[in-house]
Amino acid sequence: MLLVFPGQGSQEVGMGKGLYDAFSTARNVFHEVDDAISFFLSRVIFDGPEDTLRATENAQPALMAISMAFTRVLEKEYGINIASKAKFLAGHSLGEYTALCVGGVLTLPDTAKILRIRGAAMSSACPTGRGAMAAILGLSLANIERIIAEYDAEKKGKATAEANITVKTMPVVPIESVLQIANDNCDGQVVISGNSEAVTWAIRKAIEAKARRAVLLDVSGPFHCQLMNRAVSDVAAALEQANFSPPVCPIISNVTARAEIDGFRQFLLKQIVQRVRWRESILFAEANSITHCVEIGAGRVLTGLVRRICPQMELTNVCDVNALDEFAKKIT
CA–CA gap between residue 13 and residue 3 (Å, rounded): 24
Residue 182 to residues 111, 189, 266, Cα–Cα distance (Å): 23, 11, 18
Residue 298 to residues 150, 162, 202, 317, Cα–Cα distance (Å): 38, 49, 31, 9
Residue 320 DSSP SS3: coil
CA–CA gap between residue 217 and residue 194 (Å, rounded): 12
- C-alpha 151: how far from chain center: 26
Asked if 20 contacts 26 with a C-beta cutoff of 8 angstroms, the reply is yes
Rg, the chain, Cα only: 21
Catalytic status, residue 177: no
- C-alpha 243: how far from chain center: 22
Asked if 139 contacts 176 with a C-beta cutoff of 8 angstroms, the reply is no
Burial classification of residue 57, based on how many CB atoms lie within 10 Å of its CB (0-12 exposed, 13-18 middle, 19 or more buried)? buried
Peptide bond into 61 cis (omega under 30): no
Catalytic status, residue 224: yes
* Torsion-angle region of 245 (φ positive above 0: left; ψ -120 to 50: alpha; else: beta): beta
Give me the catalytic one of 93, 220, 253, 281: 93
Residue 185 DSSP SS3: strand
Beta bridge partners of 3: 89, 294
Give me the catalytic one of 92, 220, 224, 253: 224
Residue 5 DSSP SS3: strand
Asked if 37 contacts 116 with a C-beta cutoff of 8 angstroms, the reply is yes
Residues that are catalytic:
93, 224
